[in-house]
């Protein structure tokens, strides 16, 4: 059995500025990566949030984009996923859609990153 942890949650926003400022100033979350993908600017901040800037987003529905999960063995995780009712998306073999529409991005973690992440108990110190 492979192990994994939620590395990020991707959400759509109309404008990055206010969201980045809020999470930086309130939670101390800093930008750790930014890219333009599919014509949309995307920014990842420490703490596990990926913002997707979509000027056409009206805030009514579909804010949530996908769950990004890092696993210790991507091949084993994909083999296990194939035993479930999932659809592999055109984005790549590691992009899956579950029966109710939830999209999951599985990625290979480096070294023992998953074990280290799972060993942290932020609630109990």
CATH number at residue 20: 3.10.180.10
The pLDDT profile of the chain, 125 residues, written as one tens digit per residue, is: 888 888 899 988 888 998 898 888 877 889 999 999 999 999 999 888 899 999 888 776 667 889 899 999 999 999 999 999 899 999 999 999 887 677 889 999 999 998 888 888 777 76
How many angstroms separate the CA atoms of 125 and 116, rounded? Answer: 14
Domain hosting residue 54, numbered range: 4-119
Per the domain annotation, does 106 fall within a domain? Answer: yes
Per the domain annotation, does 125 fall within a domain? Answer: no
Residue pair 84/15 in contact by the 8 Å Cβ criterion? no
What is the pLDDT, as a whole number, of residue 42? 96
Count of structural domains within the chain: 1
95-97/87-88 β-pairing: antiparallel
pTM over 0.85: no
Per the domain annotation, does 124 fall within a domain? Answer: no
């Amino acid at each position: 059995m492979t192990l994994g942890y939620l590395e990020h949650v991707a959400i759509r926003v109309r404008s990055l500025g206010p969201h980045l400022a809020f999470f930086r100033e309130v939670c101390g979350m800093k930008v750790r990566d930014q890219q333009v993908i599919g014509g949309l600017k995307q920014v990842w901040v420490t703490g596990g949030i990926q913002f997707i800037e979509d000027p056409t987003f009206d805030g009514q529905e579909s804010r949530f984009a996908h769950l990004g999960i890092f696993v210790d063995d991507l091949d084993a995780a994909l083999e296990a996923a194939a035993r479930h009712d999932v659809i592999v998306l055109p984005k790549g073999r590691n992009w899956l859609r579950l029966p109710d529409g939830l999209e999951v991005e599985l990625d290979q973690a480096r070294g023992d990153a998953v074990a280290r992440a799972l060993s942290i108990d932020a609630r109990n110190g």
